[in-house]
Structure 1
């Protein structure tokens, strides 16, 4: 009798314990996801409360726009936004007039040079993204002051890092016969690619205020780089980009060479074993629109790889 009693008790307890264990796990996951959602939207609400009125009254400054952009790049969707900016730069290699100049610089002739150029470009762009483009840093005079609780006294100190980085970029570019249209196209991609990637792969789309901030901030960068004829609004700029791609994005050997060299630099640390590097290389092609892929002379990929690529990025958006 004792044996059967233990046997029955054991067989009754196991499903009950399993049920409660599953319930606890599901509850913990639900609580965690709710907590993450609250924190994600808390930052979104804070930046919109801070600048929403200025956006509605069309009085946002480039410095305000820089702070709004930094929120997306550093906190809300950091991985996705950085992928988008990297891809914006990569996409310019589909323009023969751009890729030819890059090829002529010989900076893509070896892995060492490509790596150095990749790092230098990242440092320069990051500097003018996250250091004040006004050349001055605003800070509270009282270190205990909290901006969200009460008004703080502000002081400005010199911070020329972004201006120096822009001057460096202008000096480097001045050595080459770069057309204004090529500058303008690159500028437009930096404005609109992050918005597109957020819409396609992010955990949320950018708000109208954030989209306007991207436009305002990069227009300021364009002006400081001496770019002219920048379209006044997003609709006109997108239309200009579409027309420019239709006439200037053509297949070319230099497009293929520069794009391939850059891809190999990005994938250099991946192992060749089990075809891992080859698989990821094919995934990078899935990020390209058909016109960009054709201009870079890259082969079309199977449909399942495109689905896998989208699933991969959406998974990143979910957890990052």
Structure 2
């Protein structure tokens, strides 16, 4: 398979009809590492909003079960898209996620913002550091996937296009980003998770490298200092060198397993495994579009 074969395939698809398949090709074949980095930055952006980070800090999920909390967030998104957003698998994942969120009073605008970070975060990272930029079909598929997830979760006022998701995110951050000690505590817990993936001697360097890639409004909201220019330049050049190397490599071959692998579940997982321990004993809530 040629390096651009899947891109040609994606360009022949309809983003509204095929958004789940386009998302699968993007996240598992075209940009598996970059997509994960974009989602990781999306998590950090959530912590720049005190109303969100205070809730996360109060639950102590990242402090006590940080890797599992990280994995579960990624896996919920995967489960909702893996067989298509109209599948029973997607509906089951949405019911389980709604059950977990139902314990807390979360404003609709916060749901919208968190959703927007998962749409905008991967696109901005890939356009900045991926081996190629996203095409129009991929951008539209990201937005359509966000819309489908919002529909299943009962989130209102969802943007209709990628550009509107981006506008929503930027306006919300301008209004809501502010420093709070909870922001830094949750961010520190997340950095501990991310750096633990690397050998111990490299962890301080990985943490500094990661901070160098964050924008100044987010760093201020998290309570971290801006890194020196030479550190930022070195980090960006290293990632662009990686993208140049990936561009020369052949396309990722073969078919991948039907379920993602996660550090918290070395022997696989079931939907019921996802989420905090208390969520497994409560009955499933119906989706907003289901009759009671």
Measured against the shorter chain, the TM-score band is 0.7 to 0.9
Q: Structure 2: 5+ residue runs without aligned partners?
A: 247-292
SS at match of 2:133: coil
1:178 to 98, 101, 106: 106
- Within the candidate set 44, 47, 68, 2:22 is matched to 68
Tell me the residue number matched to 2:67: 115
Matches within 5 A, 1:49-60: 49=12, 51=13, 54=14, 60=16
Indicate the SS of the match to 1:301. coil
Number of residue-to-residue matches in the alignment: 246
Q: CA deviation at 1:269?
A: 4.4
TM-score (structure 1 length as normaliser): 0.72
Pick closer, same or farther for the CA change 1:264–1:248 going to 2, 3 Å.
Answer: same
Structure 1 runs of 4+ off > 6 angstroms? none
Q: Larger relative contact order (C-alpha < 8 A, sep ≥ 6)?
A: 2
Work out whether 1:305 is the aligned partner of 2:257.
Answer: no
Q: 1:318 to 1:178 in 2, by over 3 A?
A: same
Q: Does the C-alpha gap of structure 1 residues 241 and 126 become closer, same or farther in structure 2, counting only changes over 3 Å?
A: same
After superposition, the C-alpha distances for 1:131-185 in whole angstroms (9 at most, x for unaligned) are 32211xxxxxxxxxxxxxxxxxxxxxxxx22221121111111111111111101
CA deviation map 1:173-219 (0-9, x unaligned): 11111111111011111111221112111111111111111111111
1:84: which partner in 2? Answer: 38
Distance 2:113 2:59 in 1: 20
* Distance change (3 Å), C-alpha of 1:166 and 1:312: farther
Q: Which has the larger share of helix?
A: 1
2:156 aligned residue: 228
Computed over aligned residues only, the root mean square deviation of the Cα atoms, in angstroms, reads 1.7
Q: Could you tell me which residue of structure 2 aligns to residue 293 of structure 1?
A: 219
Matching residue of 1:133: 85
1:260 to 167, 176, 188: 188
Bigger radius of gyration: 1
Aligned partner of 1:249 among 177, 202, 206: 177
Shift of 1:48: 1.7
What is the TM-score of this pair, normalised by structure 2?
A: 0.79
